Amino acid sequence: MAYSSEADDLRPSEAAVERARRAATSAGLTRQAFLRRSAGSVLGVTSLAAFLTACGSAGTAGTGSAAVGSPPAHPTGTLRIALPGAVDSLDPTIAESVGDLAIITSIFESLVTFDAGYRALAPSLATRWHVSDDAREWVFTLRDGVRFHDGATFDASAVRKNFEYVLRPSDPYGFLFGTPVIDDSDPSVVRFTYKTPFPDLGHNLTLASGISSPKVLGSHPAKADKQVARQHVGTGPFRFVSERAGQSVTLAAFDGHWGEKPHIETLVFNVIPEESARVSALQAGDVDLVLQVAPLAARSLRSDPRLAVHESPSWSTACLMPVCDMKPFDDPRVRQAMAYAIDRKTIVEKLLLGTAALDDSMFPPGIQGYHVPATAYAHDPQKARQLLKDAGYGGTVPVRMSVRSDAVLASEISQALVAQLNAVGFATTSEVLDPAVFEADKSLPRPKYQLHWNEWGWVTGGPFHLTLGALAAQCHYRNPRYDALVARVVVTPDGRARERLIADAIDVWANDVAWITLWVPKRLDASIATLQHYQAPPNVFTKLGTSYISGSA
Amino acid sequence: MKRYIATRLGQGLLVVFGAITISFVLASMAGNPIDARYANISPAARAQLLHQYGYDKPLLERYVSYVGGVAHGDFGPSIGSPTGALTRVAEALPYTLILVFAAMATASLIALASATFGAIRRGSRIDAWVRNGFVALQGIPEFFAGLVLVLLFAVVLGWLPSFGATGPASYVLPVIALSLPLVATLTRLLRSQLLDVLGADFVVALRAKGLSERDIVLRHGLRNAGPPLITYLALQLGWLLGGTIIVEVVFGIPGIGSLVVSATRARDMAVVQAIVVVVAVGYVLFNLFADLAVRAVDPRVRSAT
């Protein structure tokens, strides 16, 4: 029986939704916030450096406030967005940073996207799709009448060329799409055929697969790196106009967009590397939107009636990750002690100022397969001490912890974690490391640091860190039962059977304390109060196609 | 004179060659940027990227190739950018030069005025206030000064832009932030030079001839105090060229300071190395110009060399 592309069939089961709703409500979230949960961070999966390991939250599902006024009849006005760093790459297949991806999301589109509530996949450049029973074949029906910004026609051939490009040997993220045979014999249909089941294609297509114009890719797409790096031509609501190196990127509304026409005439992305300078620029009226403000800055911005703070949950998790085959964390009791030692509620309240939600699952609500494990570890220092004694650690347990320097409140949170761990008998020292040094240490067979804390972005909306084994690999976690369950998840098509397998894997994970989820950060963006219909996605792909500035007509 | 310039340029080339070598060695010690940017990618992708950026070659071969490339103005490809490393630096350099020269000019003018005033009115209460005020200025970190200036003049008063390099107005605050620490040092240096000169025998003679203190300071004192000041300015220019990082990051100026931060984060070592070499060349040239200026101003130096 083939799966249809109707959204119902690809949504989590009702039971899973209900369980998540109860969990979210008990965590103090409203129904609206739960439905619009979104998180994104652009951190890498184990296999990917910065891309899949979340570093600070990115992208929010955007609760947004009720829109005021109506959109202008024609694209009007300029929206100035503050970027946290210079543009590294606008190649949709390799871009990693929040800023780069905000630009890319405006220029490029993929075959699928998420619906407005970020609960299910929705049509984009493909109007519908079928997945075979065994998830070896995906057939996408392409949208008619779509043109690229340079006038080229969007068809199956364009899709095939793009996948030839993204699957080139030097692309670091091509593995997200497996090794399909792509059939573009019908210009309106593209068929992906795999030798083994590949159920995650749909979700993975929301990532690193923005479709570039075939004119840019030329006749040898696999060698089109330089062209794609220079020319940014997609089908999105905005077209690339210019870049001033290190300074700004300008996009203009694309009148020929197949969907809802953009309401803003010009987007200007300005590079302001220093965070407090970005906030000052917003307060001074020099920019209109700042992505990812810190909790303390958000608190002060809320009191300014000219500004609005957009807060919503993200699809990322902050994790404390022990190296499970190195002392002392090779003993599960020590890992349990670690879990009991952490007072997550205090950190969220005092340091994050309430801008995160507690969660015991492996990944946040809203991610396909979300399941709250039966085993949970509430703050219990006494139990932690007892467990360490039982494990034979009568004195102190030396532990070296590392954290990425670009994590939100890296120093402050790591100090809190150190204090809480040391209060139960660990002798923890912590170092804040440059991101590349941090990632390099984690990938060593014997890392220098036995404990890491980091954020992970489940940016595809699916459990891809689970199926790719990223977190487990970085924690050196091996459990035959867990590994077998994950191996089955990888090849099981979406549906109740897969959800059961994921739930079982999460239960084993929680029991073993392979790593712990500390909290689910919220995404905080700040803008002028007149920016309407702003909805940041749960992943890092900030969409501006339907936003407008009231009073700008 | 020509021989003097040629000798100095030759020495400068040695300095630049040293900078090229040291930057290459340090960048190599940091590991290859492919592994730093893309940890745990597939072996095939890793091999392809290492080959693409030349990191699959032995160290000595890479060094020889690098030095050869630099001699032709090719610092290698910039990772993640379609342009070469030197092109990226060349695009960023003008912003830094504007900032540096404007800050130096501002600091020099203020220092000249205050040091001259201090020399003429030495020992007075106003002179003491000015000197103590500058000491306080010198203690203000650029980062703090920059943020306070933005808060006051951009956010509260709304007089000036808070970031960017979009026009003359956008340079006012960063130039102030960069010049504040310089003013104090320059003032102290120039004032002490002037006081030294004013204590010389020939000045006694000038006073005996009936020249006013103001004329003595302006016509004779400044000229004699000039050579050490010119040397100091040249050293400061070179230092500033590589030291604008904080101000550029705070104010979003797309100069080489911002570029070195973003390139380091992105492990774009070709760009980092290119910046190191460009700054070294700047040091050499500024010092050469300073020496020539001192020769022009001080006849004692001309006859000695």
Q: Which residues of A touch B261 (CB under 8 A)?
A: 273
User: What angle do helix axes B2-29 and B59-71 make, rounded to 10 degrees?
Assistant: 140
B126 to chain A, any CB pair closer than 8 A? The answer is no
Of the pLDDT bands very low, low, confident and very high (cuts 50, 70, 90), residue B303 is: low
DSSP code of residue A535: B
B237 to chain A, any CB pair closer than 8 A? The answer is no
From A226, A277, A436, residue closest to B82, measured CB to CB: A226
User: In 3D, which of A369, A433, A542 has the Cα closest to residue A53?
Assistant: A433
Minimum distance, in Å, between the CA of residue A305 and any CA atom of chain B: 15
B43 to chain A, any CB pair closer than 8 A? The answer is no
**B45/A246 Cβ within 8 A:** no
Say how far apart CA B171 and CA B102 lie, in whole Å.
9
The pLDDT of residue A378 is: 95
Query: What type of residue is B141?
Result: P
B119 to chain A, any CB pair closer than 8 A? The answer is no
Interface predicted TM-score of the whole assembly (ipTM), two decimals: 0.83
**B258/A86 Cβ within 8 A:** yes
Select the highest-mean-pLDDT range: A90-99, B40-49, B134-143.
A90-99
How far from A319 is each of A54, A344, A488, CA to CA, in Å? Answer: 10, 11, 24
A118 in the Ramachandran plot: left (φ > 0), alpha (ψ -120 to 50) or beta?
left
Write out the DSSP string of B88-107: HHHHHHHHHHHHHHHHHHHH
The pLDDT of residue B264 is: 87
Of the pLDDT bands very low, low, confident and very high (cuts 50, 70, 90), residue B80 is: low
B122 to chain A, any CB pair closer than 8 A? The answer is no
Q: Which residues of chain A have pLDDT under 50?
A: 1-65
Q: Which residues of B touch A247 (CB under 8 A)?
A: 164-165, 252, 254
- Nearest chain A residue to B266, by CA: A88
Mutation pick from B41, B89, B245 vs chain A, by most beta carbons of A within 10 Å, is: B41
**B155/A246 Cβ within 8 A:** no
B174 with B253: CB under 8 angstroms? yes
Beta pairing class for A112-114 and A451-457 = unpaired
pTM for the whole structure: 0.85
Select the highest-mean-pLDDT range: A231-245, B100-114, B129-143, B254-268.
A231-245
B10 to chain A, any CB pair closer than 8 A? The answer is no
Of the pLDDT bands very low, low, confident and very high (cuts 50, 70, 90), residue B210 is: confident
Write out the DSSP string of A83-141: ESS------TTT--SHHHHHHHHHH---SEEE-TTSSSEEESSEEEEEE-TTS-EEEEE
From A49, A86, A284, residue closest to B38, measured CB to CB: A49
Say how far apart CA B172 and CA B146 lie, in whole Å.
11
From A49, A171, A247, residue closest to B164, measured CB to CB: A247
From A246, A286, A436, residue closest to B92, measured CB to CB: A246
The pLDDT of residue A234 is: 97
**Cα torsion angle, A496, A500, A506, A507, sign:** positive
Select the highest-mean-pLDDT range: A543-552, B200-209, B233-242.
A543-552
Say how far apart CA B31 and CA A434 lie, in whole Å.
14
DSSP code of residue A2: P
Beta pairing class for A76-83 and A289-290 = parallel
The pLDDT of residue B5 is: 81
In sequence order, the β-bridge partners of residue A271 are A83
Query: How many Cβ atoms sit within 10 Å of the Cβ of residue A510?
Result: 22
User: How big is chain B, counted in residues?
Assistant: 305
B 150-209: CB under 8 A from A: 150-151, 154-155, 158, 161-165
Q: Which residues of A touch B249 (CB under 8 A)?
A: 273-274, 277
Average pLDDT for chain B: 84
Rg (Cα) of chain B, in Å, rounded?
24
A131 with A2: CB under 8 angstroms? yes
Query: How many Cβ atoms sit within 10 Å of the Cβ of residue A5?
Result: 22
**A48/B38 Cβ within 8 A:** yes
Minimum distance, in Å, between the CA of residue A17 and any CA atom of chain B: 34
CB-neighbour burial class of residue B137 (10 A; exposed 0-12, middle 13-18, buried 19+):
middle
| Tokens found for residue A315 | 């699809």
The pLDDT of residue B32 is: 77
Minimum distance, in Å, between the CA of residue A384 and any CA atom of chain B: 34
B262 to chain A, any CB pair closer than 8 A? The answer is yes
Angle at B84 between CA B79 and CA B90, to 5 degrees: 120
CB-neighbour burial class of residue A209 (10 A; exposed 0-12, middle 13-18, buried 19+):
buried
Query: What type of residue is A177?
Result: F
The pLDDT of residue A25 is: 35
Strands (E), A369-468: 397-404, 426-433, 451-457
Q: Which residues of B touch A89 (CB under 8 A)?
A: 80-81
Q: Over B150-217, what HEC string results?
A: HHHHHHHCCCCCCCCCCCHHHHHHHHHHHHHHHHHHHHHHHHHHHHHHHCCHHHHHHHHHCCCHHHHH
**B250/A440 Cβ within 8 A:** no
User: What angle do helix axes B85-120 and B269-297 make, rounded to 10 degrees?
Assistant: 40
Q: Which residue shows structure tokens 């310039």?
A: B5
Strands (E), A393-515: 397-404, 426-433, 451-457
Write out the DSSP string of A149-212: TTSPBPSHHHHHHHHHHHTSTT-TTGGGG-S-EEE-SSTTEEEEE-SS--TTHHHHTTSS-PPP
Q: CA A283 from chain center: how many Å?
A: 28
B81 to chain A, any CB pair closer than 8 A? The answer is yes
B42 to chain A, any CB pair closer than 8 A? The answer is yes
| Tokens found for residue A303 | 């009191």
**A175/B162 Cβ within 8 A:** no
Query: What type of residue is B267?
Result: R
Q: Which residue shows structure tokens 């749909």?
A: A202
B258 to chain A, any CB pair closer than 8 A? The answer is yes
A110 with A358: CB under 8 angstroms? no
Measure the N-to-C terminal CA separation of chain A; round to a whole number of Å.
51
The pLDDT of residue A66 is: 55
Say how far apart CA A64 and CA A465 lie, in whole Å.
28
**B40/A246 Cβ within 8 A:** no
Minimum distance, in Å, between the CA of residue A96 and any CA atom of chain B: 10
The pLDDT of residue B299 is: 67
Say how far apart CA A44 and CA B268 lie, in whole Å.
19
Say how far apart CA A513 and CA A376 lie, in whole Å.
10
Q: pLDDT at residue B287 above 90?
A: no
- Nearest chain B residue to A434, by CA: B265
| Tokens found for residue A527 | 């803008």
Say how far apart CA A63 and CA A312 lie, in whole Å.
6
Of the pLDDT bands very low, low, confident and very high (cuts 50, 70, 90), residue B251 is: very high
Q: Which residues of A touch B47 (CB under 8 A)?
A: 169
Mutation pick from A271, A274, A468 vs chain B, by most beta carbons of B within 10 Å, is: A274
From B35, B47, B265, residue closest to A440, measured CB to CB: B35
Contacts of B181 (CB under 8 A, 6+ apart): B137, B138, B140, B142
pLDDT tens-digit map of A207-244: 877 999 999 999 999 999 889 999 999 999 999 999 99
Query: How many Cβ atoms sit within 10 Å of the Cβ of residue A346?
Result: 12
The pLDDT of residue A6 is: 35
A222 with A168: CB under 8 angstroms? yes
B173 with B147: CB under 8 angstroms? no
In sequence order, the β-bridge partners of residue A318 are A455, A519
Query: What type of residue is A426?
Result: F
